[in-house]
């Protein structure tokens, strides 16, 4: 089968057994791409009442037919699961090199079920799958875990792993890839699913070729598109996704003070991707087969680590009124190392700050004053969430459940859809987002319909939008959302 290795591995952690499942071409054609195929297997290997943190919840890594082909920006894989944050379908995707190396290891996907008795990590290398003791890695952060496993295996591998937050079963925990050049599958608490299986990491690598249909023609098309994409993506290359902060603020798109305010004009300049490029940016990096390279590495005052992207700058920055890029970078780094989703963590902290301001919670619950824009507040709450300590144990449940526990009207300040904190795009600014958040399978997701660029400045005559769709319209957003959800599901 072109574009696929034709095999996924069903891995049972309890019995340490592996079953090779041959892909059925009719299924592959019906459920196109990593998201579709992964969802097919989630339906097959879970029940409607499967508990998210039970051994029965499958954790499914899946790639699509472009993975390994060299098609620009196709180096993304999906992870599918039942979400401990929302209780419903969960999916999250990540770039980097993991999907590519999984395919070169000889597999299109992994379906991981059961729970290991002791912490383990899995190696998937050139068609062979093995289990290794991970007790010595339990408790380590994601960067250190990656470095140790790469050293232990001694071959070119990519590591997907959790940090302490996933081990502690925090529903805001993600799964991290590629060490310090971090690429994150962040949303929906999948890190806690991995932690519940006593699975610390998966390392993948190999050199199995992938069959590509009419490869020469594809390569010539890739060369042409790579050039175009490089030019079109120059802004992302230079400034990263955070380069969009100032424009987003002008439109009223960014969350400010837990979604309460509509303008942050002087401050946004301090935290933009342009400011990052002028001050703390060391270099950029790319996912596999991407000529754009939106990833950031930053360096300042003895600090050296991943640079925050748009969602992180907005959720840990403007949503919490933090206008210091170095503070946001440190908070981002902490989330990356602990293995936390910066979107949900930022949303949860902004929620706590507003509750404190409103007097709904006090120092009695939080153990400290919670202060808008303050580094100490931000860092302390991230640590508490990761370790399920103090008020962080409540916040780490996500804003919906935390509000239910707190009561006293806290629900009014909990900004979420289906239990998932909103990403950093305001549905009052682009109304298509409201329909997208309400109808997305996983809860508040800006990517499942991705309508807002077409409500801001883009057009797509092929879908019937020869001009930009009026962002303020209340009508026609259902049709717009449905069309773009279908389009995006093809890309996934
Ligand atoms: S480097 Fe950025 S633009 Fe390129 S595939 Fe990765 S996330 Fe997408």
Task: Give the per-residue pLDDT at 438.
Answer: 96
Task: Give the per-residue pLDDT at 382.
Answer: 98
Q: Verify that 159 and 267 share a domain, yes or no.
A: no
In angstroms, rounded to a whole number, what is the distance separating the alpha carbons of residues 147 and 159?
Answer: 9
Q: Verify that 297 and 385 share a domain, yes or no.
A: yes
Read off the pLDDT of residues 218-230 as tens digits, 9 standing for 90 and up. Answer: 999 999 999 999 9
The finding on whether 403 has its CB within 6 A of some atom of ligand 1 is no
Q: Verify that 310 and 459 share a domain, yes or no.
A: no
φ and ψ at residue 273, rounded to 5 degrees: -65, -30
Question: Which among 417, 451, 467 is the end of a domain?
Answer: 417
Q: Verify that 312 and 457 share a domain, yes or no.
A: no
The finding on whether 73 has its CB within 6 A of some atom of ligand 1 is yes
Read off the pLDDT of residues 435-457 as tens digits, 9 standing for 90 and up. Answer: 999 999 999 999 999 999 999 99
The finding on whether 292 has its CB within 6 A of some atom of ligand 1 is yes
Encoded tokens for 129: 């799958």
In angstroms, rounded to a whole number, what is the distance separating the alpha carbons of residues 188 and 177?
Answer: 16
Q: Verify that 399 and 476 share a domain, yes or no.
A: no
Residue 69 lies in a domain: yes
Residue 1 lies in a domain: no
The finding on whether 95 has its CB within 6 A of some atom of ligand 1 is yes
CA of 231 to the centre of ligand 1 (A): 14
Question: Which among 158, 187, 205 is the end of a domain?
Answer: 205
Q: Verify that 156 and 277 share a domain, yes or no.
A: no
CATH no. for residue 353? 1.10.569.10
Residue 213 lies in a domain: no
Residue 108 lies in a domain: yes
Residue 217 lies in a domain: no
CA of 183 to the centre of ligand 1 (A): 9
Tell me which residue has its CA closest to atom 8 in ligand 1: 73
Reference 339, options 130, 113, 112, 179; nearest CA is 179
* Nearest atom within ligand 1 for CA of residue 293: 1
Residue 295 lies in a domain: yes
The finding on whether 293 has its CB within 6 A of some atom of ligand 1 is yes
CA of 286 to the centre of ligand 1 (A): 6
The finding on whether 55 has its CB within 6 A of some atom of ligand 1 is no
- Structural domain total, the chain: 3
pLDDT by 10s per residue, the chain, length 492: 899 999 999 999 999 999 999 999 999 999 989 999 999 999 999 999 999 999 999 999 999 999 999 999 999 999 999 999 999 999 999 999 999 999 999 999 999 999 999 999 999 999 999 999 999 999 999 999 999 999 999 989 999 999 999 999 999 999 999 998 989 999 999 999 999 999 999 999 999 999 999 999 999 999 999 999 999 999 999 999 999 999 999 999 999 999 999 999 999 999 999 999 999 999 999 999 999 999 999 999 989 999 999 999 999 999 999 999 999 999 999 999 999 999 999 999 999 999 999 999 999 999 999 999 999 999 999 999 999 999 999 999 999 999 999 999 999 999 999 999 999 999 999 999 999 999 999 999 999 999 999 999 999 999 999 999 999 999 999 999 999 999 998 888
Cα distances from 419 to residues 134, 371, 386, in angstroms, run 32, 25, 19
Does the interface ipTM go beyond 0.95? yes
Q: Verify that 264 and 119 share a domain, yes or no.
A: no
Cβ count within 10 A of residue 483: 18
Residue 422 lies in a domain: no
CA of 73 to the centre of ligand 1 (A): 6
What string of H, E and C letters represents the secondary structure of the chain? CCCCCCEEEEEECCCCEEEEEECCHHHHHHCCHHHHHHHHHHHHHCCCCCCCCCCCCCEEEECCCCCCCCCCCCCCEEEEEECCCCCCEEEEEECCCHHHHHHHCCCCEEEEECCCCCCEEEEEECCEEEEEECCCCCCCCHHHHHHHHHHHHCCCCEEEECCHHHHCCCCCECEEECCCCCEEECCCCHHHHHHHCCEEEEEEECCCCCCCCCHHHHHHHHHHHHHHHHHHCHHHHHHCHHHHHHHHHHHCCCCCCCCCCCCCHHHHHHHCHHHHHHCCEEEEECCCCCCCCCEEEEEECCEEEECCCHHHHHHHHHHHCCCCHHHHHHHHHHHHHHCECHHHHHHHHHHHHHHHHCCCCCHHHHCCCCCCCCHHHHHHHHHHHHHCCCCHHHHCCCHHHHHHHHCCCHHHHCCEECCEECCCCCCCCCHHHHHHHHHCCCCCCCCCCCCHHHHHCCCEHHHCECCCCCCCCCCCHHHHHHHHHHHHHHHC
In angstroms, rounded to a whole number, what is the distance separating the alpha carbons of residues 359 and 345?
Answer: 21
In angstroms, rounded to a whole number, what is the distance separating the alpha carbons of residues 201 and 129?
Answer: 13
The finding on whether 295 has its CB within 6 A of some atom of ligand 1 is yes
Q: Verify that 274 and 377 share a domain, yes or no.
A: yes
CA of 119 to the centre of ligand 1 (A): 32
Contact 208, 67 (CB under 8 A): no
CA of 20 to the centre of ligand 1 (A): 31
The finding on whether 396 has its CB within 6 A of some atom of ligand 1 is no
Out of 71, 95, 284, mutate this one to test ligand 1's pocket (max ligand atoms within 8 Å of CB): namely 95
Contact 77, 61 (CB under 8 A): yes
Torsion of CA 166, 178, 275, 458, to 10 degrees: -90
In which domain, by residue range, is 167 found? 7-205
CA of 287 to the centre of ligand 1 (A): 5
* Nearest atom within ligand 1 for CA of residue 289: 5
Torsion of CA 70, 337, 328, 354, to 10 degrees: 120
The finding on whether 294 has its CB within 6 A of some atom of ligand 1 is yes
């Amino acid at each position: 089968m072109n574009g696929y290795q034709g095999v996924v591995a069903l891995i049972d952690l309890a019995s340490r057994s592996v079953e090779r499942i041959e892909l059925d071409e009719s299924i592959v054609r019906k459920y196109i791409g990593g998201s579709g195929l992964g969802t097919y297997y989630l339906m097959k290997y879970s029940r409607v009442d499967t508990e998210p943190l039970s051994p029965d919840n499958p954790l499914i890594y899946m790639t699509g037919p472009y993975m390994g082909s060299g098609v620009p920006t196709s180096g993304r894989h999906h992870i599918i699961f039942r979400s401990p944050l929302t209780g419903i379908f969960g999916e999250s995707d990540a770039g980097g090199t993991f999907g590519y190396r999984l395919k070169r290891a000889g597999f299109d996907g992994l379906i991981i079920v059961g729970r290991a008795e002791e912490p383990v990590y899995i190696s998937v290398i050139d068609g062979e799958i093995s289990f290794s003791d991970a007790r010595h890695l339990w408790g380590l952060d994601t960067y250190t875990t990656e470095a140790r496993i790469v050293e232990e295996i001694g071959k070119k591998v990519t590591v997907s792993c959790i940090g302490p937050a996933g081990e502690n079963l925090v529903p805001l925990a993600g799964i991290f890839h590629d060490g310090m050049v971090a690429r994150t599958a962040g949303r929906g608490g999948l890190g806690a699913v991995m932690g519940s299986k006593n699975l610390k990491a998966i390392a993948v690598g190999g050199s199995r070729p992938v069959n590509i249909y009419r490869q020469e023609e594809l390569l010539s098309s890739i060369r042409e598109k790579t050039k175009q994409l490089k030019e079109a993506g120059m802004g992302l290359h230079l400034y990263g996704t955070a380069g969009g902060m100032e424009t987003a603020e002008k439109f009223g798109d960014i969350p400010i003070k837990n979604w309460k305010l509509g303008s942050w004009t002087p401050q946004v300049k301090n935290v933009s991707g342009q400011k990052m490029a002028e001050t703390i940016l060391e270099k950029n990096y790319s996912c596999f087969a991407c000529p754009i390279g939106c990833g950031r590495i930053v360096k300042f005052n003895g600090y050296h680590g991943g640079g925050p992207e748009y969602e992180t700058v907005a959720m840990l920055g403007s949503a919490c009124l933090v206008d210091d890029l170095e503070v946001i970078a440190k908070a981002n780094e902490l989330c990356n190392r602990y293995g936390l989703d910066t979107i949900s963590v930022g949303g949860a902290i902004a929620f706590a700050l507003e509750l404190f301001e409103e007097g709904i919670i006090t120092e009695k619950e939080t153990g400290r004053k919670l202060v808008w824009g303050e580094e100490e507040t931000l860092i302390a709450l991230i640590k508490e969430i990761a370790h399920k300590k103090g008020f962080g144990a409540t916040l780490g449940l996500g804003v919906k459940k935390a509000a239910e526990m707190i009561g006293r009207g806290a629900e009014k300040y909990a900004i979420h859809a289906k239990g998932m904190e909103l990403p950093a795009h305001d549905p009052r600014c682009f109304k298509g987002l409201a329909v997208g958040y309400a109808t997305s399978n996983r809860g508040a997701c800006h990517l499942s319909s991705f309508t807002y660029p077409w409500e801001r400045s883009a057009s797509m005559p092929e879908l019937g939008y020869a001009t930009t769709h009026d962002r303020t319209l209340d009508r026609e957003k259902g049709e717009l959302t449905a069309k773009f959800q279908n389009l995006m599901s093809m890309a996934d």
